[in-house]
């Protein structure tokens, strides 16, 4: 059985959004009753540079355990907002420590399916 403890904190400061994510993983093993323990953390900043384009930067890392080495990464991404509900992104991730893979490409999309926040008018 696996156990995860996750913390997510976000703050918007003058048009830049800062996100901090931390995860502690206690992963069960299939070979015996022991667990492998590891942690991951990321600090990211994102900002719109125009109505449709944005940029994101991230510094992240993970601790080592007996199954994987620890590593740190830097990430740079460009985003493109197609419409209110669809955003594409792509960029590069670079390994910052000896055990990390040197470079990798990242790409993704975000699809908004619901607006969970009530929009309040200017009436009080």
The per-residue pLDDT for 122 is 56
pLDDT tens-digit profile of 32-53? 777 778 899 999 999 999 999 9
Residue 117 has pLDDT above 80, yes or no: no
The per-residue pLDDT for 120 is 62
Q: What does the block give as tokens for 85?
A: 């509900």
Task: Give the phi and the psi of residue 2 in degrees, each rounded to 5.
Answer: -100, 150
Short-list 43, 45, 39, CA closest to 71? 39
Range with lowest mean pLDDT among 42-51, 55-64, 65-74: 65-74
The per-residue pLDDT for 123 is 53
Range with lowest mean pLDDT among 30-34, 102-106, 107-111: 30-34
Domain boundaries, the chain: 3-111
The per-residue pLDDT for 115 is 78
Indicate the average pLDDT of the chain.
90
The per-residue pLDDT for 33 is 76
Helices (H), the chain: none
- Mean pLDDT (whole number) for 95-107: 94
- Half-sphere exposure in the Cβ direction for 22 (13 Å, CA): 3
């Amino acid at each position: 059985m696996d156990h995860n403890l996750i913390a997510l904190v976000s703050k918007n400061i003058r048009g830049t959004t800062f996100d901090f994510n931390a995860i502690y993983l206690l992963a069960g093993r299939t070979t015996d009753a022991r667990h492998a323990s590891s942690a991951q953390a990321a600090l990211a900043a994102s900002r719109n540079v125009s109505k449709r384009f944005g940029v994101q930067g991230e510094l992240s890392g993970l601790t080592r355990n007996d199954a994987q080495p620890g590593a740190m990464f830097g990430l740079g991404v460009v985003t493109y907002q197609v419409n209110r509900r669809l955003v594409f992104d792509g960029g590069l991730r670079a390994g910052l420590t000896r055990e990390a893979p040197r470079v990798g490409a990242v790409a993704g999309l975000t699809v908004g399916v619901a607006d969970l926040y009530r929009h309040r008018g200017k009436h009080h």
